[in-house]
A = this chain, B = another copy of it.
Amino acid sequence: MCCFEPSVSTGSGANRLRGLAQPMDIRQGRTVPIDPAKDFLVFVGSGTTKLIASASGGREQIVAFHFSGELVSVPVNAWHSYRLSALVQTEVLAFPAEDFLGIAVSEPVLQAELLRRTMTALHRCRDKAVGLGRKNAQERLASFLVGMADRIGIAEEGSCTLELPMSRRDIGDSLGLTIETVSRQFSELRMTGLIETSGRSRVLLRDIPALAERAGHV
């Protein structure tokens, strides 16, 4: 597994961390099994996950996607119930948050990295909140595509190729839309010439600045 320690920690803290979590293999579509009595910090060694919040009435909102090498905070004491689910075969390390933070206090570099990542997550979440609160379907999808391009896109001259690991339903659950609306907006962007698609998952972004414009980014 792609290892957590090299990127964020050195020295004895690394050994102490290793004792806190067993590496786990999560199959596609399965939920990371964590003790529902405490918060967790989950490191995604390889693969892709989605963090899902459930509200009453079976409604689900995907709060974030995570790619290999990223760290997710999975809270338990919140208004909604959260779970982490694998979009593809995924390897994770799940640390009880309390224990992890306890070790981090005595490892300033590890703690600084954790803080940096948490701030990035916060800033992403805020940008997402703006989309959910104030943008229409087209802007939300454009914003999603630009964001994904930034994280997992393969840049080419003037354009960018995406291999999306998530379904239309996942995209809808992430953008607060239905699959039908997501599909219609894909068609719309395709007709405008801003994107091309092939199969279920490949998307070619032909003009990222124009998409960002369409996304309402300032």
Q: What is A's interface to B at a CB cutoff of 8 Å? A: 51, 53-57, 59-61, 63-64, 73, 75, 78-82, 101, 104-106, 108-109, 111-112, 114-116, 118-119, 121-123, 125-130, 132-135, 139, 143, 147, 175-176, 212, 215-218
The answer to whether B218 and A56 touch across the interface, beta carbons within 8 angstroms, is: yes
A57 vs B127: C-alpha distance when bound (angstroms): 16
A125 vs B79: C-alpha distance when bound (angstroms): 11
The answer to whether A115 and B111 touch across the interface, beta carbons within 8 angstroms, is: yes
The answer to whether B217 and A130 touch across the interface, beta carbons within 8 angstroms, is: no
A–B Cβ pairs within 8 angstroms, 9 of them: A55-B135, A60-B134, A78-B126, A79-B127, A101-B116, A104-B112, A114-B115, A132-B176, A134-B176
Copies in the complex: 2
Q: Which of these, B80, B123, B130, contacts A61 with CB under 8 Å? A: B130
Known: A53-B127, A128-B129. 14 other contacts (CB 8 A): A51-B126, A54-B218, A56-B216, A57-B216, A63-B126, A73-B119, A79-B130, A79-B215, A79-B218, A82-B126, A106-B108, A125-B125, A132-B133, A134-B176
A139 to nearest B CB, angstroms?
8
A217 vs B81: C-alpha distance when bound (angstroms): 8
Residues of chain B within 8 A (CB-CB) of A143 are 79
